[in-house]
């Protein structure tokens, strides 16, 4: 058990605070012989990187990753590959403006972990949220990039499907559009209205929530495990561990509560000699085990608690006070949660791939 | 890592199939010296027991629990208490009608784990769903009853808040009503309409989904842990591990996606010398750590897949066929999920209580 | 983490006290489709069973095992096989004479866990040693029998190589002799002198220690893992977890301290096209990973602390007193440790086989 | 489960190869509020550092540790303390002469992990032994220094008690002498003969084994846990995980096999109102739980396999060849194992301290 590790056979341990010298992670259990370079990882980090549009925080972090261990030139090909030993990844913190945070050293920002960290530990690194900062998620994306390498034949993609109260039109879903707009929206027609909405929020110093959908194609039937090693259970755990996430659902999710059994059942036929489900309300999981259909997970991200409007709070000494965020501001943290959701999906699947073949060969 | 265990310091391992000789669990890590009798556990099992109203399956199981180890007479008081060693609990399967299930030996019921278990393992105990049966949840309730004993000062309650499309009126919430109707509804006025709705479904051989809400009061601030040991993450994992659950949310949950930062922030004031939050959109968790507010979790249960209407499917040999459920039938499995949700909450909290004091004394 | 579980992917959790209604274990992670009957397990339990000669305790336990879950008839062959779900094994306690132990209810037997259990937990089930009784090892043997089934091609055998100060002549080692005498001695010529020695001890109400050697043949090169998942580390953990064990060594063990590098190196040649080591001081492990040679582990068992000679001790209230064992008596617990050592070897290897293929396919 | 992590509640994960850019570890689960600086850790690293006398390898590593996360100025005292979040420690590799190792790129050194790593992973970082290098143990010492901080009131010391065939005179044991000679010998009179013996070995390009004894004073009764969380089991695991260790014993260890029950029993009396054991054959552990006596562990270290005398071996392609070590040479790796043994003792105890208070408050 480790409070800063995720996964069992494919296992990531992250460390670091927002304003310390660096953040990083150790990826343990990776199969050997897999080609891996810093560029493979950097490509995914660049998607999560802050400051890429006016809709995310203006902190400027190059997020340059270094591989410190666990790779070596293959004796035959000379290509840099994993060796099966722990892969240590480090990202230096560059743009850490500690002075911006002095006002929160003693007061608790509502909606943040300031109060609870201090209740638990008696102290906290308050600079930029310390360990509770979203900066930690860069490590997830880096480790997730390694996990993807283990998942030959599996395609993992995510998209933003709701911003504030504004949901996409699912009939317009086009995966090719996701990389073409600053919101990872699969529906190109909503981009303009989201832009206007977020510009207004940004100018008002406000923020909003969002919903992210993550889909994995190509997962074979049989991954996952009964009862407490369920694939959907581990996906729920993975997504809920992301900062600011307040809900997770699989397939039809909460809508399934309103279905009848007839509506909900995904019937099966033989199509071209293979079993095919005629619908996917299950979201690709039955009894905790993958069915071979697309894995579909959605999660809700609450609005950033760092807003310019003063909110009522207290300080360490029990004095009532008001607090508002100064410095950089992220009107919709849900946007940057898109690559993080992909990474968590990859981490869960890589782990379950290894767990499955451990037991079942 | 164990696919049939849940928790770390307070840890439950369950075993058994629906139609084997018995089911059971081992509870490890329980603190010593806690009074525990079979009656303490039985009270909770009786709430989950099938066949108590016409709205749940008519399987008749006494669900009589036996404590096989881990308790002893206290040397001073003579009272039966835990000894700190593993507590083995066993429940015999009595009303297992294996002949009812012969038609599903080779065909896969849509929405059930038949297909995926066989994809994973190459075979399955098909009688009553075998290991994937909701019968396993009796063990959760039994272990949860032990967990409650560890949680002095914490009150855990759950209620059914939606059946099919019919949600309760939250303004009418009255915990005292929950035990007074066969649905665990906190809103007495909805009982009659739910009864009619479920009677119609039952007669039609159909089924519906539901939403359960679980609340824990009295949890002190500071339980949980950063990043991958988050309290809400473990609650999501716990609830999603329950059979038929498709979504989990904490506090405002999916609604938070549509909030602004101003709406979402739970402001803090000093009230009678103690910090008090003025709202609880967070559901009692900030940064993965309890805030001292009520912990509020909701989960969505899909409709039972066992319905009388024939559904299209295939068999082991790849032949297309139709299947419908014969024998006993549960129109709304969400009802019996209420005590199960309570048990999973108790298991998560007992574990985190021990984890917290392990690190923080 | 569980204090009563052993292994990771192939994992055993044991429960039960010496004088409770039963003892048992849950074996989780077993691959599916492996033929398994109660008779397969019983054969190994019968080797460990007490009361088979005058040299072991006279407690008469049939040690009849029941499989309560995790097996089912294979759909094609009809043979009973594992299903991949938890295998619950239970053994009822039959010959538990609780009245024999009333004198130890309050006094601490020197060399026993009475004092430390009470220091830890504040109370203990004193009847027959409760959880600290060697009776728990029956569960290891039962789980080990399942583990052996996973280890196709691996032969695990153990023998007693020293009783008190009397070691065998290793030149006379004959595995076929091990089953032919009550000591599991591989050297037939020492049997008579051991018999005389133990008869004298038994009559004097005394006891002695012993050394057990366990050998696994047929383990392929590559099992184990670097640094903290070392095969020898897990073997050391496994053997040291057996009651009364005070030392563990691999290959040359403590003798290696007195070797030079030249003496210790196991040189390698190609023999019939395959790498062969010319000696096995390493005991089959290099860098924590199996080399393909025989795995060789030895462990030292201390003399039973239950002797008829009164020893000085104290009671719960801090009064000085004397204590001597009444009732049944085991002059050399090392004898019955032989099948237990085999079981622990099997459990370590089954776990590492699955761990290896999890990471390396 | 992680092959590169050790411990459960107090948990260390190490990473890095001998000749990569750096090595390091993440210490998770450390209680908050404990004063910790780099100097605290450096003091222990300096004891393990190579090149401090002619009796250890001449590799010159400053072994300068950096704390990258997990500490912060205490809000009241301003002192740097742990925050309860992961502590990342990094040590750069400075004196890595990769060219010395080209001859072992394809041939397997007898007694080394070259053969087995390649059997397992298909490739290895051969430079300096890569991940299997003793360099990894610097991380153990660094993490062990943190563990000591958690163990207020516990004193952990180790000494070298045998070099080759030459054991100390235990009657001359003086802890104050351990820091006064290059061997960590507690017996000053043996220093000269060890020096001569090792000088001869060094000149001959040979090597020898050794035995290390580790003692922890001040451990309260009650740490450890029954059956598979035994304190002695975890100590055996800890010590056997150190490179080149082939045997571990607790208290009387292998000698206990030759004792009678009368000789072995540690009798108990009340001395100054407190229970006192009259001897310590148990080495401070009964039934896997600490008794309050000194914890005493010994482990045997085999001779370094890197010797100048050519040994017969094969290469990757199955050709027979001879190999001898060029470059730096360590005649007795057992010497530097002394601070490593202390570190592993500290890591086991810190973990068990937290585990004990997790369950027992």
Q: Nearest-CA neighbor of B30 among B22, B40, B42, B20?
A: B40
d(CA D321, CA C146): 43
CB pairs under 8 A between B and C: 155
Task: Give the distance from residue A124's alpha carbon to the nearest chain D alpha carbon, in angstroms.
Answer: 6
Looking up tokens 């369920």, which residue turns up?
A230
Query: Which two structure tokens, joined as six digits, stand for A354?
Result: 């290894």
CB pairs under 8 A between A and B: 379
**Cβ–Cβ gap C224/D116 under 8 Å:** yes
Residue B155: predicted pLDDT? 98
Chain A residue with CA closest to C352: the answer is A358
In B70-137 the beta strands, taken as DSSP E runs, fall at 71-73, 80-82, 87-92
Residues from chain A contacting residue C32 (CB–CB below 8 Å): 359-360
Q: What is the DSSP letter of B302?
A: P
d(CA A268, CA B109): 9
Residues from chain A contacting residue D106 (CB–CB below 8 Å): 75
Residue A324: predicted pLDDT? 86
Report the helix count and the strand count for chain C, using DSSP H and E: 7, 18
**Cβ–Cβ gap C358/A226 under 8 Å:** no
Nearest to A248 among B14, B248, B257 (CB): B248
Task: Give the distance from residue A189's alpha carbon to the nearest chain B alpha carbon, in angstroms.
Answer: 20
Query: Which two structure tokens, joined as six digits, stand for C92?
Result: 């009822």
Task: Give the distance from residue A261's alpha carbon to the nearest chain B alpha carbon, in angstroms.
Answer: 5
- State pLDDT tens for residues C175-193: 999 999 999 999 999 999 9
**Cβ–Cβ gap A221/B334 under 8 Å:** no
Query: Which two structure tokens, joined as six digits, stand for C132?
Result: 């600290």
| Sign of the alpha-carbon dihedral angle for C127, C131, C134, C136 | positive
Query: Which two structure tokens, joined as six digits, stand for D317?
Result: 């392609």
d(CA C270, CA D20): 32
Residues 6+ positions from C50 with CB-CB distance below 8 Å: C56, C57, C58, C59, C60, C61, C330, C336
Contacts of C among chains (3+ CB pairs under 8 A): A, B, D
Q: Dihedrals φ, ψ of A313, to 5°?
A: -155, -170
Q: What is the mean pLDDT of residues D115-143?
A: 94
Nearest to B29 among D29, D85, D359 (CB): D359
Cα distance from N-terminal residue to C-terminal residue, chain D:
26
d(CA D356, CA D361): 7
Residues 6+ positions from B78 with CB-CB distance below 8 Å: none
Chain B residue with CA closest to A139: the answer is B227
Residues in chain C whose Cβ is within 8 Å of chain A: 1, 9, 29-32, 84-85, 226, 354-355, 357-361
**Cβ–Cβ gap C33/B74 under 8 Å:** no
Partners of A99 in the β-ladder: none
**Cβ–Cβ gap A359/C354 under 8 Å:** yes
Chain A residue with CA closest to D69: the answer is A16
Q: What is the DSSP string of C315-361?
A: BTTS-EEEE---S---S-TTTTHHHHHHHHHHHHHHHHHHHHHHHH-
d(CA B240, CA B250): 13
Q: What is the dihedral of CA D88, A25, A134, B252, to 10 degrees?
A: -110
Higher pLDDT residue, C17 or A97? C17
- State pLDDT tens for residues C281-333: 999 999 999 999 999 999 999 998 888 888 999 999 999 999 987 766 788 99
Looking up tokens 């849509």, which residue turns up?
B110
Q: Which helix (H) or strand (E) holds B33?
A: none
Q: Nearest-CA neighbor of C30 among C67, C83, C91?
A: C83
Rounded to 10 deg, the angle between the A38-48 and A337-360 helix axes is: 140
pLDDT at C94 over 90: no
Residues from chain A contacting residue D120 (CB–CB below 8 Å): 32, 84
Residues from chain A contacting residue D19 (CB–CB below 8 Å): none
Under 8 Å between Cβ of A331 and A164: no
Are β-strands A210-217 and B5-6 bridged in parallel, bridged antiparallel, or unpaired? unpaired
Q: What is the mean pLDDT of residues C83-101?
A: 84
Chain D residue with CA closest to C209: the answer is D257
Q: What is the DSSP letter of C215?
A: E
Q: In sequence order, which ranges of chain B are alpha helices (DSSP H)?
A: 38-48, 114-121, 137-150, 191-203, 231-240, 261-264, 337-360
**Cβ–Cβ gap D360/B85 under 8 Å:** no
- State pLDDT tens for residues A83-102: 999 999 999 998 766 566 66
- State pLDDT tens for residues C226-262: 899 999 999 999 999 999 999 999 999 999 999 999 9
Nearest to D31 among B1, B31, B361 (CB): B361
Residue D75: predicted pLDDT? 86
Rg (CA), chain B: 21
Residue A97: predicted pLDDT? 62
pLDDT one digit per residue (tens) for chain B, 361 residues: 789 999 999 999 999 999 999 999 999 999 999 999 999 999 999 987 766 777 777 667 789 999 999 999 998 899 999 999 999 999 999 876 656 666 788 899 999 999 999 999 999 999 888 999 999 999 999 999 999 999 999 999 999 999 999 999 999 999 999 999 999 999 999 999 999 999 999 999 999 999 999 999 999 999 999 899 999 999 999 999 999 999 999 999 999 999 999 999 999 999 999 999 999 999 999 999 999 999 999 999 999 888 888 999 999 999 999 998 776 678 899 999 999 999 999 999 999 999 999 999 9
* pTM tops 0.95, yes or no: yes
Residues in chain A whose Cβ is within 8 Å of chain C: 1, 9, 29-32, 84-85, 226, 354-355, 357-361
Residues from chain B contacting residue D85 (CB–CB below 8 Å): 226
**Cβ–Cβ gap B31/D1 under 8 Å:** no
Identify the residue among D116, D135, D203, D229 best suited for mutation to test binding to C, counting C beta carbons within 10 A and taking the highest: D116
Chain A residue with CA closest to C359: the answer is A31
Are β-strands C155-163 and C210-217 bridged in parallel, bridged antiparallel, or unpaired? antiparallel
Cα distance from N-terminal residue to C-terminal residue, chain A:
26
**Cβ–Cβ gap A246/B248 under 8 Å:** no
Under 8 Å between Cβ of D186 and D169: no
Residue C97: predicted pLDDT? 62
Residue C327: predicted pLDDT? 65
Q: What is the DSSP letter of A164?
A: T
In this prediction, the residues of chain A whose per-residue pLDDT falls under 50 are none
Residues from chain A contacting residue C226 (CB–CB below 8 Å): 85
ipTM summary value: 0.96
Identify the residue among B83, B150, B289, B358 best suited for mutation to test binding to D, counting D beta carbons within 10 A and taking the highest: B358
> Rounded to 5 degrees, what angle do the CA atoms B162, B44, B346 make?
75
Residues 6+ positions from D72 with CB-CB distance below 8 Å: A17, A123, A124, A125, A130, D80, D81, D83
pLDDT at C1 over 80: no
Residue B97: predicted pLDDT? 62
pLDDT at D98 over 60: no
Query: Which two structure tokens, joined as six digits, stand for C319?
Result: 């009064």
Chain A residue with CA closest to D7: the answer is A1
pLDDT, averaged across chain C? 93
**How far are the Cα atoms of B115, B231, C347, D114, D178 from residue C6, in angstroms, in the given order?**
31, 27, 8, 29, 38
pLDDT at C157 over 60: yes
Residue A343: Cβ-neighbour burial (10 angstroms; 0-12, 13-18, 19+): buried
- State pLDDT tens for residues D10-31: 999 999 999 999 999 999 999 9
Q: What is the dihedral of CA C127, C133, C139, C144, to 10 degrees?
A: -170
């Amino acid at each position: 058990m480790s409070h800063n590790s995720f996964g069992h056979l494919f296992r990531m341990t992250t460390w670091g605070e927002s304003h310390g010298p660096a953040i990083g992670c150790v990826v343990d259990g990776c199969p050997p012989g897999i080609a891996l370079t810093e560029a493979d990882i950097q490509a995914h980090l660049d998607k999560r990187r802050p400051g890429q549009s006016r809709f995310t925080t203006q902190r400027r972090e190059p997020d340059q990753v270094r591989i410190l261990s666990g790779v070596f030139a293959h004796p035959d090909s000379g290509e840099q590959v994993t060796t099966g030993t722990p892969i240590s990844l480090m990202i230096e913190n560059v743009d850490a403006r500690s002075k911006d945070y002095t006002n929160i050293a003693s007061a608790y920002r509502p909606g943040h972990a300031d109060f609870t960290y201090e209740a638990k530990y008696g102290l906290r690194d308050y600079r930029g949220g310390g360990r509770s900062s979203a900066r930690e998620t860069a490590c997830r994306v880096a480790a997730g990039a390694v996990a993807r390498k283990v998942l030959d034949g599996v395609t993992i993609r995510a998209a933003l499907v709701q911003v504030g109260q504004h949901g996409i039109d699912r009939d317009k879903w086009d995966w090719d559009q996701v990389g073409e707009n600053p919101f990872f929206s699969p529906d190109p027609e909503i981009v303009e209205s989201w832009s206007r909405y977020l510009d207004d929020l940004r100018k008002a110093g406000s923020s909003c929530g969002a919903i992210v959908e993550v889909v994995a194609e190509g997962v074979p039937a049989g991954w996952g495990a009964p009862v407490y090693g369920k694939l959907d259970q581990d996906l729920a755990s993975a997504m809920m561990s992301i900062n600011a996430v307040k809900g997770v659902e699989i397939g039809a999710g909460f809508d399934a509560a309103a279905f009848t059994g007839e509506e909900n059942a995904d019937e099966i036929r033989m199509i071209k000699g293979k079993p095919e489900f005629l619908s996917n309300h299950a979201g690709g999981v039955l009894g905790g085990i993958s069915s071979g259909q697309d894995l579909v997970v959605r999660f809700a991200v609450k609005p950033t608690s760092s807003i310019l409007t003063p909110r009522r709070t207290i300080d360490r000494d029990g004095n009532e006070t008001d607090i508002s965020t100064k410095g950089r501001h992220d009107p919709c943290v849900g946007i940057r949660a898109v690559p993080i959701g992909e990474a968590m999906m990859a981490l869960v699947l890589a782990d379950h791939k290894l767990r499955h073949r451990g037991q079942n060969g």
